[in-house]
């Protein structure tokens, strides 16, 4: 089983940038499709971005399109989320998630390995 640990969250002013990272261990990293989700207080978990096992395909939620970029490094067992032009509504806990590669893109419900999350707060 793969274990995921996120880092890179923090407090940033609106319009700024932040780069989240997720380090994986305990599994063969290239066997997994990966994604970033977020959840704000009182709101449902939201899909942010996904990347397939090889890094050749990506998909984004509407809120992330044009502002966020997901990438992975299979040699380092890491996945990153570069977030630009941040808005106060991006404030949330961000989670890294993984699922064994089968089809692309996976349904959100197929992600069954989760990190503990990292908090992102955007001030106005």
Low-confidence stretches of the chain (pLDDT < 70) are none
pLDDT of residue 27: 85
CA distance 27 to 59: 23
pLDDT for 12: 98
pLDDT score at 1 = 87
What's the rounded Cα separation, in Å, for the pair 9 and 19? 8
Q: Which of helix, strand or coil describes residue 114?
A: strand
Residue pair 9/94 in contact (Cβ under 8 Å)? The answer is yes
Task: State the Cα torsion 103-4-21-11 to the nearest 10°.
Answer: 120
């Amino acid at each position: 089983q793969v274990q995921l640990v996120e880092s890179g969250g923090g407090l940033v002013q609106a319009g700024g940038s932040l780069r989240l990272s997720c380090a994986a261990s305990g599994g063969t990293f290239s066997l997994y499709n990966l994604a970033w989700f977020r959840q704000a207080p009182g709101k449902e978990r939201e899909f942010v971005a996904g990347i397939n096992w090889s890094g050749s395909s990506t998909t984004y939620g509407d809120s992330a399109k044009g502002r966020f970029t997901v990438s992975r490094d299979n040699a380092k067992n890491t996945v990153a989320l570069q977030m630009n032009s941040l808005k106060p509504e991006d404030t949330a806990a961000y989670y890294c998630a993984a699922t064994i590669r089968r089809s692309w893109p996976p349904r959100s419900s197929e992600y069954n390995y989760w990190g503990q999350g990292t908090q992102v707060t955007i001030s106005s």
